[in-house]
Amino acid sequence: MLGQLRSFLNRCIEKDLVLNWEKCHFMVQQGIVLGHIISKKGIEVDKAKVELIVKLPFPTNVKGVRQFLGYAGFYKRFVKDFSKLARPLCELLVKDAKFIWDDRCQRTFKELKLFLTTAPIVRAPNWQLPFEVMYDASDFAIGVVLRQREDGKPYVIYYVSKTLNGAQRSYTTTEKELLFVVFAMDKFRAYLVGSFIVVFIDYSTLKYLLTKHDAKARLIRWILLLQEFSLHIKDKKGVENVVANHLSRLVIRLISQSGLLIKNIYKTYDLILA
């Protein structure tokens, strides 16, 4: 323990890092960092902050809804499908929407509080192990789970979700399937670049998209993005496939079939999920 502390302090000196000693805690079993409790078990919510959220009365106006979602959203990495769960409340924030607090809103309000009080402990990644990416999608939202396995048992690193915009909701089911992969790689890029990644997806969907003769520019941009990652596809039904290992060949074929110029494909990064 003392050796690790010495190494840490030496690294701070090497990198010219300045520490506020009044706020430093050494040789402790756990500590609170940015509203999260960090220990050898992993990362968990600060129970004191969650209790404050749980005690909030139900909102009576848009400001109250926005405030509650702000508090609850701080811990959304611990809640699976947060965007999907919170949709009834988010609908109240739409411009010119009438504020009607119905049973659906009340149920969502209570469910989010319950999920926060029973939030799991998530763990920091082990960079020596492969990552696994799984998803749950609906017509209006997608939720993604980043996890790893230790001794054959999976454990969660991060939950993330996204509400689909109008254009994305009009995507075909097969396009939404690939959108999930792109969204996950974009969101977890800091974790996944340079790592081995197992993605669970419907293989028949992916095969259909990658063999279309009239591929859209959007699809080609997505495939170009995915080339940056070391992906290994596993069918959700349990059948392994390695189609993602050959994305570079698919790009060349799709560009040829679509008659698109390379200069029209490398759009800005912001357009990837457009």
pLDDT in tens, 187-214: 999 999 989 999 887 767 666 666 666 6
Task: Answer yes or no: do 110 and 190 share one domain.
Answer: no
3-state SS assignment for residue 46: coil
H helices of the chain, in order, are 2-14, 47-54, 62-73, 82-85, 87-90, 103-117, 166-169, 173-187, 189-192, 203-210, 217-226, 247-258, 262-265
Q: What would the pLDDT profile of 72-98 be if each residue is shown by its tens digit?
A: 999 999 998 899 899 999 999 998 899
Task: Answer yes or no: do 207 and 114 share one domain.
Answer: no
Domain contains 202 = yes
pLDDT of residue 210: 61
Contact 178, 219 (CB under 8 A): yes
Rounded distance between C-alpha atoms, residue 239 and residue 200, angstroms? 10
Domain contains 48 = yes
Residue 205's contacts (CB-CB under 8 Å, 6 or more residues apart) are 173, 174, 177, 178
pLDDT over threshold 90, residue 110: yes
Task: Answer yes or no: do 93 and 2 share one domain.
Answer: yes
Task: Answer yes or no: do 141 and 103 share one domain.
Answer: no
- Closest C-alpha among 246, 243, 265, 268 to residue 256: 265
Give the pLDDT band of residue 152 (cuts 50, 70, 90).
Answer: confident
pLDDT of residue 157: 94
Domain contains 261 = no
Contact 115, 79 (CB under 8 A): yes
Domain contains 111 = yes
Which amino acid is it at 7? Answer: S
Compute how many other C-beta atoms are within 10 angstroms of the C-beta atom of residue 21.
6
Residues written for the chain: 274
Judging by DSSP bridges, how do beta strands 30-33 and 36-39 pair with one another? antiparallel
Residue 27's contacts (CB-CB under 8 Å, 6 or more residues apart) are 1, 5
Give the pLDDT band of residue 264 (cuts 50, 70, 90).
Answer: very low
Q: Which of 71, 94, 118 is the last residue of a domain?
A: 118
The tokens describing 125, both together, are: 């990644």
Give the pLDDT band of residue 239 (cuts 50, 70, 90).
Answer: very low
Task: Answer yes or no: do 59 and 21 share one domain.
Answer: yes
Domain contains 141 = yes
pLDDT of residue 162: 87
pLDDT over threshold 90, residue 61: yes
Domain contains 268 = no
Task: Answer yes or no: do 1 and 113 share one domain.
Answer: yes
Compute how many other C-beta atoms are within 10 angstroms of the C-beta atom of residue 97.
10
Task: Answer yes or no: do 44 and 113 share one domain.
Answer: yes
Quote the percentage of the chain above a pLDDT of 90.
41
Give the pLDDT band of residue 252 (cuts 50, 70, 90).
Answer: very low
pLDDT of residue 180: 86
User: Can you give the residue range of the structural domain that contains 77?
Assistant: 1-118
Provide mean pLDDT across the span 207-224.
70
Domain CATH number, residue 147: 3.10.20.370
Task: Give me the number of domains the chain comprises.
Answer: 2
Q: What would the pLDDT profile of 160-177 be if each residue is shown by its tens digit?
A: 988 888 888 888 877 887
Task: Answer yes or no: do 91 and 179 share one domain.
Answer: no
Domain contains 244 = no
Q: What is the CA radius of gyration of the chain?
A: 22
Residue 38's contacts (CB-CB under 8 Å, 6 or more residues apart) are 30, 31, 32
The tokens describing 264, both together, are: 């029209």
Q: Which long-range contacts (CB under 8 A, 24 or more apart) does 142-148 make?
A: 142/83, 142/176, 142/179, 142/180, 142/183, 143/80, 143/81, 143/82, 143/83, 143/84, 144/180, 144/183, 144/184, 144/187, 144/188, 145/80, 146/184, 146/188, 146/191, 148/123
pLDDT of residue 18: 93
Task: Answer yes or no: do 107 and 3 share one domain.
Answer: yes
Q: What would the pLDDT profile of 8-53 be if each residue is shown by its tens digit?
A: 999 999 999 999 988 888 888 888 888 899 998 899 999 899 999 9
Residue with tokens 């959108």: 179
Task: Answer yes or no: do 104 and 51 share one domain.
Answer: yes
Task: Answer yes or no: do 157 and 219 share one domain.
Answer: yes
Domain contains 140 = yes
Rounded distance between C-alpha atoms, residue 144 and residue 188, angstroms? 10
pLDDT of residue 272: 37
pLDDT of residue 104: 94
3-state SS assignment for residue 90: helix
Domain CATH number, residue 44: 3.30.70.270
**Who wins on pLDDT, 7 or 258?**
7
